[in-house]
Amino acid sequence: MQTLLAAARVHEVEGDVAHLEGTSPRGGSVAVDLPRALLERQRLKTGDLVWVFSRMVGDAAVVELLPAVRIEIRSGTSGRDLAVELRSLVDVAYAREGASEESDGLTAEERDDYAEHFKTTVGSNLTAAELSDLQADAASGRLPRRRLHPAG
């Protein structure tokens, strides 16, 4: 089962390590150090916002990043207004149904490229062979281990 570890910002990149600082789902401060290569796969850089997810694979934890955006809610926004605003930001099916005639500025080819990039990165699942290799590496101690240190 995949769970949200933190909503975070890429604080700095130092050598092969990226330092992220954020907040756990319970509101606590979280600091996470991840391999720089994980950010490079997502084209993330210092200052970018991310969701940090983790899931258990045998005795190991797999960490995944998903690029995020900050949404600021104006005071006095009703639940209905908020739902409309959020839907316009994230619900592709809603936009396709003609709720908005505005263009997103992308060509069909660019949309396909972004969709393919998503499917080959955060949208992809590990194959059975990849899971097996990961479990074998974890069992033999070949996976580097890093501790997550809550900030503060």
What's the pLDDT tens digit per position in 74-133?
666 665 665 666 555 554 443 344 444 456 677 888 888 877 777 777 667 777 787 788
Tokens of 102: 């505005």
- Residue 14 placed within a domain: yes
pLDDT in tens, 18-40: 999 988 888 888 899 999 988 88
What is the model's pTM? 0.48
Q: How many domains does the chain have?
A: 1
- Structure-block tokens of residue 69: 């955006």
Residue 21 belongs to a domain: yes
What range defines the domain where residue 42 resides? Answer: 2-70+103-140
Position 49 in a domain: yes
What's the Cα-to-Cα distance from 105 to each of 70, 92, 101, 102, 113, rounded to whole Å? 20, 14, 12, 9, 14
Q: Are 62 and 16 in contact (CB under 8 A)?
A: no
Residue 146 lies in a domain: no
6 falls within a domain: yes
Whether 136 is covered by a domain: the verdict is: yes
123 in a structural domain: yes
Amino acid of residue 144: P
Q: Can you tell me the distance from the alpha carbon of 32 to that of 46, in angstroms, rounded to the nearest whole number?
A: 14
Residue 43 lies in a domain: yes
The CA distance from 6 to 26, in Å, is: 9
